[in-house]
Amino acid sequence: MCRLALLVALAAAAQAHVVSMSSGEIHVTGRTATYELRMPAYEITHVTNPATELLDQLTFTGARRTASECKKEEDTYDCTASYEFEKEVPDKLEVECTLFRVTVPNHIHMLYAVQGENGDQVVFDQSNPKREMRFHPVSLTETITRDGGAGALRFLSSVAGILFLAALVLAARSPRDLAILAVSFLVAEFLVRPVVPYIRIGLSPDFLEALLALTVAYLGAEIFFLPAGRARWAVVPLLGLAHGIPFAGFPPMYMAGAAGVQSILIAALAVPVLRMAPAMRRNAAAILMVVAVGWFTSLLLK
């Protein structure tokens, strides 16, 4: 636990935020559109010519940029641009956003598109640079399917996240224990959301995944070396805070989608794991610990 705290403390000296984020809004009227980008100034201190480089990373299919202007206002860098489409925009707009190329790899851009009384909001990042925006009232089912599905896929792409769930189930001594640990873990993932934007820690996606791998290694070590330990109910929520960081910049439905998949995996793993003998659990925890350390090392050596 001390080593994990030390790594976090060292990372705190960096100059970027855990969640690198910008926002934008495009208003479409017939064949024309106006777009406004709002970027924290600290995100582009290394960009040579932000007035052109930022807007060049946004492409609206079928449109050409006719004018643009950028300026810095206090702690924000704002850009406005005008676009003209080849033909009138129907009820959808295809957008490509690659701002992560000129900011940082884990940059997130939240875009709101408006056409008349209808609007849509989507999130772009390195894993989803191309999205379709639809100009019609979005139903709850569509929101759950799109954003919840994206959050679920984002979680499933994390090896450390899946390994941690296995360690979490191994840490439980009974169905009641598992319920307490699982609920505290899932709640902690949500609780970190309002805090993350104020934490100045520079973490690349690989380093963040490596940090999560450390949480797996720690919990595996706890199970193996302290099989009778009674503090897991307090440790698991702390580790859950770290696992909520990758979703902190996304709409809540992303985290809800990830939590849904996590709950299903926990329930599925509980069936065989809770029937294991204590000795077998310790051996499984040792294997998880070794795998997590190996995954951590491979990520740092990239």
> In terms of pTM, does the model score above 0.85?
no
Report the pLDDT value the prediction gives residue 36, as an integer from 0 to 100: 97
Report the pLDDT value the prediction gives residue 202, as an integer from 0 to 100: 54
Structural domain boundaries in the chain: 20-138, 155-300
Distances in Å between the alpha carbon of 100 and those of 47, 53, 104, 212, 247?
A: 12, 11, 5, 22, 16
* CB proximity list for 277: less than 8 A, separation 6 or greater: none
**In what order do the strands lie in the sheet containing 92-97?**
58-60, 92-97, 130-134
* CB proximity list for 91: less than 8 A, separation 6 or greater: 115, 118, 134, 135, 136
Report the pLDDT value the prediction gives residue 203, as an integer from 0 to 100: 62
Report the pLDDT value the prediction gives residue 18, as an integer from 0 to 100: 62
Report the pLDDT value the prediction gives residue 4, as an integer from 0 to 100: 44
- State the Cα–Cα distance between residues 293 and 282, nearest whole angstrom: 17
Report the pLDDT value the prediction gives residue 141, as an integer from 0 to 100: 86
Report the pLDDT value the prediction gives residue 9, as an integer from 0 to 100: 37
- State the Cα–Cα distance between residues 51 and 55, nearest whole angstrom: 7
Report the pLDDT value the prediction gives residue 201, as an integer from 0 to 100: 54
Report the pLDDT value the prediction gives residue 168, as an integer from 0 to 100: 98
DSSP 57: G
Residue 199 CB neighbour total at 10 angstroms: 16
- State the Cα–Cα distance between residues 287 and 302, nearest whole angstrom: 23
**Unique residue bearing structure tokens 């690198």:** 20
For every one of its 302 residues, what pLDDT tens digit does the chain have, with 9 covering 90 and above?
444 443 443 343 333 446 688 999 999 999 999 999 999 888 888 898 998 999 999 999 999 999 999 999 888 999 999 999 999 988 889 999 999 999 988 899 999 999 988 889 999 999 889 999 988 777 788 888 889 999 999 999 999 999 999 999 999 999 999 999 999 999 999 999 888 766 655 567 788 899 999 999 999 999 999 988 888 989 999 999 999 998 988 889 999 999 999 999 999 999 999 999 999 999 999 999 999 999 999 998 87
